[in-house]
Structure 1
Amino acid sequence: MTKFITLTLTGILLAGTVHAGAIERACKRSDRAAGKQALCSCIQQVADVTLDRRDQRLAAKFFRDPHMAQEIRQSDRSNHEVFWKKYRAFGSAAENYCS
């Protein structure tokens, strides 16, 4: 019986981890998110609505390398410009929704 309960709890915990999106995982790993698990989840919910998966993966990298955001913002590449417009909209929406 104990083995069954352990396996069930492990499955539940893993299911929650698998469900977390790229931004939520990066947020929770960052040193700035200490004790702010609900905020990370909220930010991911906004990302799910405003950014596609590819953009979410790129945005998640900013938690580890904030300078990368500046490089993309200043880039002359058209795909970076398109991404940055979506990212700014995401940031504004997350600020309004998750505050």
Structure 2
Amino acid sequence: MKTLTRAAALALFALPISSTFASAGPIDSACMRAGNGANRATCGCIQQVADMTLRGGDQRRAAKFFLNPDQAQETRVSKRDSDNAFWARYKQFGEAAQAYCG
């Protein structure tokens, strides 16, 4: 919970300042390719939250969910410890992204 609170506090200060800079990371790119009606500002915001809450490997893994939601479901119900740990981090990212970009 402290990590989420810390990320939220950072987002309050970082998002307005950094919104003028392009941020084309794996989440932003996948979001734009997904064709779900999201715009550059929304996808960029989600990427900024990802930069604050997820490591690079986690971002690349999460980006795959935009184009293949079934893969997210498979990860969520997995019995593997590594999948469960990733899902906990991904869930925190999703909650933070919803709070600041939704």
TM-score relative to the length of structure 1? 0.78
Structure 1 residue 33, shift from structure 2 partner: 3.3
Give the fraction of aligned pairs with identical amino acids, expressed as a percent.
52
Matched, 1:39 2:24: no
Structure 1 residue 73, shift from structure 2 partner: 0.3
Does the 8 Å contact 1:23/1:44 carry over to 2? yes
Within 1, Cα distance between the matches of 2:44 and 2:60? 15
Kindly provide the CA deviation profile for residues 17-72 of structure 1, in whole angstroms up to 9, marking residues without a partner as x. Answer: xx5100000000111035x1100000000000000000000000001100000000
**Secondary structure of the residue that 2:79 maps to in structure 1?**
coil
Runs of at least 5 residues in structure 2 that lack an aligned partner in the other structure:
1-21
Q: Which structure has the greater CA radius of gyration?
A: 1
- Aligned residues, how many? 81
Does the 8 Å contact 1:33/1:40 carry over to 2? no
Does the 8 Å contact 1:27/1:33 carry over to 2? no
Matched, 1:26 2:30: yes
Q: Which of the residues 57, 61, 71 maps onto 1:58?
A: 61
Q: Which of the residues 72, 76, 79 maps onto 1:76?
A: 79
Give the alignment's Cα RMSD to 1 decimal. Answer: 1.1
TM-score relative to the length of structure 2? 0.76
Matching residue's letter, 2:69: P
